[in-house]
């Protein structure tokens, strides 16, 4: 068996009137051998999504979700960035 991983895909909308909604799918990732190719699929975020979830932009143009707060921030400028 060449089981590699379990992939959980969260659905954005899944509601049903008389039962719990199907909120996610489970994909089981198998390969035929230990030699395989994984092709990453990358997609740009919509500008509306970025404005809603990553409103802040640092001096280098990187977006992040919140102002840094909490213990450990005491001197200088601290910037939390989303990669």
- Placement of tokens 């001197």 in the chain: 75
Give residue 77's pLDDT. 56
Q: 64: which 2 tokens?
A: 């992040």
Full-model pTM: 0.40
DSSP classification of residue 39: -
Domain boundaries, the chain: 3-32+40-64
* pLDDT 10s digits, 44-79: 989 898 888 888 888 898 888 876 666 655 555 555
* pLDDT 10s digits, 34-46: 888 989 999 998 9
Q: How far apart are CA 60 and CA 68, in angstroms?
A: 17
Question: Which residue blocks in the chain are alpha helix, DSSP H?
Answer: 47-53
Give residue 6's pLDDT. 93
Q: Are 57 and 81 in contact (CB under 8 A)?
A: no
């Amino acid at each position: 068996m060449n089981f590699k991983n379990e992939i959980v895909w969260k659905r954005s909308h899944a509601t049903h009137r008389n039962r719990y909604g199907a909120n996610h799918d489970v994909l089981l990732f198998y390969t035929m051998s230990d030699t395989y190719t994984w092709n990453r699929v990358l997609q740009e975020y919509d500008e509306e999504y970025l404005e809603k979830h990553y409103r802040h932009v640092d001096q280098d143009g990187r977006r992040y979700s919140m102002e840094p707060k909490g213990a450990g921030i005491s001197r200088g400028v601290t910037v939390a960035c989303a990669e």
